[in-house]
């Protein structure tokens, strides 16, 4: 039975977070999902001097991603809108630095694109990955996504295009993109899920899963009904959507690996440090990795520093309940741009 008290929809928050919106100053919100001209200093929740960022020692910890058996770095490289904001000559360094520092999981999607103002596509995140990652293919893991819900091989065409753009002949993790309350489990099972299982059996993809930031309940439904290997789920101290309460228990019970997303770095400003937000994410049972995008090399280096430092901590250093109470006012579309109707990651206009 669904716990109605803890089951939140986007529509619920549009009507119930008006008071919370008053508590969060608009001026205090960071660029998060919009294209931005802010400097790197503006974008970092708790800036770290360059000399400190350079003092990165030790490996990024790895964890097993559930029943996939894959050992993944706790920091996953996000290829979405934040990555796409890095200009030519800079984004290449981001991938190279990540590879050098031990990040081995790289996430993207065909949706992550930059388009010109006349509507024509300029380039995609997958194409960027294809310029750097193939030389390191035997040491890294690549995840991408599909939007199709229909069967009859429609999703296969999308995967074939992704393979072409990334210059690889297999995908480590293929996810059904952006599961929400409109999705019908029986239709997915008879449609795209059957195709995903077939592509997995053929070796075209190694593991299958889905991503969701809009409906913890529908995520729970999918986890209960179908045999997915992993799930990428929203997780942050605002407790938006209550994924830990609704979806995580089923994933953990079935051995489904969890990648956390929407950590909220660069959204809450001084309300919480990046260190607190990452530790909150990594400290949840079942979480193998947290995916985050980076604008600017210092942000990337700082994230890597935090991942290395977290691996050296003997015990947790945050009070989870206190942090949740502190960031509760951010739980809604007024503060979380990705919780607004019609939001999509990517599609940056230049």
What is the set of active-site residues?
Answer: 112
Q: How far apart are CA 4 and CA 251, in angstroms?
A: 20
Q: How far apart are CA 93 and CA 83, in angstroms?
A: 11
215-224 burial: b if 16+ Cβ within 10 Å, else e: bbbbbbbbbe
Taking Cα atoms as reference points, which of 240, 232, 235 lies closest to residue 209?
232
Taking Cα atoms as reference points, which of 174, 260, 207, 178 lies closest to residue 68?
207
> Is the CB of residue 87 less than 8 Å from the CB of residue 124?
no
For 115-177, the three-class secondary structure string (H helix, E strand, C coil) is ECCCCCEEEEHHHHHHHHHHHHHHHCEEEEEECCCCCCCHHHHHHHHHHHHHCCCCEEEEEEC
> Is the CB of residue 199 less than 8 Å from the CB of residue 205?
yes
What 3-state class would DSSP assign to 306? helix
Q: Which helix (H) or strand (E) holds 78?
A: strand 75-78
What 3-state class would DSSP assign to 209? strand
Q: How far apart are CA 244 and CA 262, in angstroms?
A: 13
Sign (positive or negative) of CA dihedral 327, 329, 332, 334: negative
Taking Cα atoms as reference points, which of 29, 3, 4 lies closest to residue 332?
29
Q: Which residues contact 275 (CB under 8 A, 6 or more apart)?
A: 46, 306, 309
- Cross-strand partners of 261: 234
> Is the CB of residue 258 less than 8 Å from the CB of residue 286?
yes
């Amino acid at each position: 039975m669904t716990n109605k008290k803890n089951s939140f929809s986007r529509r619920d928050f549009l009507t119930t977070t008006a008071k919370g919106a008053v508590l969060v100053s608009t001026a205090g919100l960071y660029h998060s999902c919009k294209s931005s001209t802010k400097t790197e200093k503006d974008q970092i929740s708790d800036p770290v001097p360059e000399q400190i960022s350079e003092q990165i020692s030790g490996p990024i910890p790895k964890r097993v991603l559930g029943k996939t058996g894959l050992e993944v770095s706790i920091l996953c490289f996000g290829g979405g809108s934040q990555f796409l904001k890095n200009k030519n000559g800079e984004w290449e360094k981001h991938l190279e630095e990540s590879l050098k520092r031990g990040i081995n999981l790289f996430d993207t999607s065909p949706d992550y694109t930059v388009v010109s103002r006349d509507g024509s596509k300029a380039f995609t995140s997958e194409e960027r990955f294809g310029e750097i990652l193939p030389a390191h293919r035997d040491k890294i893991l690549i995840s991408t996504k599909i939007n199709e819900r229909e069967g009859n091989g429609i999703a296969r065409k999308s995967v074939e295009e992704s393979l072409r753009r990334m210059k690889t002949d297999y995908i480590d993790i293929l996810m059904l993109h952006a599961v929400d309350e409109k999705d019908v489990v029986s239709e997915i099972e008879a449609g795209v899920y059957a195709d995903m299982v077939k592509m997995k059996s053929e070796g075209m993809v190694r593991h299958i899963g889905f991503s969701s930031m809009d409906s913890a309940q529908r995520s729970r439904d999918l986890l209960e009904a179908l045999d997915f290997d992993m799930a990428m789920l929203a997780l942050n101290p605002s407790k938006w959507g209550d994924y830990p309460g609704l979806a995580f228990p089923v994933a953990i019970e079935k051995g489904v690996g969890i990648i956390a997303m929407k950590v909220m770095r660069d959204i809450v400003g001084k309300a919480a440090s990046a260190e607190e937000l990452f530790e909150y994410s990594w400290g949840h049972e079942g979480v193998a990795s947290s995916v985050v995008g980076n604008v600017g090399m210092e942000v990337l280096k700082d994230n890597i520093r935090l991942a290395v430092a977290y691996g050296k901590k003997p015990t947790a250093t945050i009070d989870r309940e206190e942090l949740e109470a502190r960031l509760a006012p951010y739980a809604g579309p007024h503060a979380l741009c990705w919780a607004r109707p019609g939001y999509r990651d990517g599609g940056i206009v230049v």
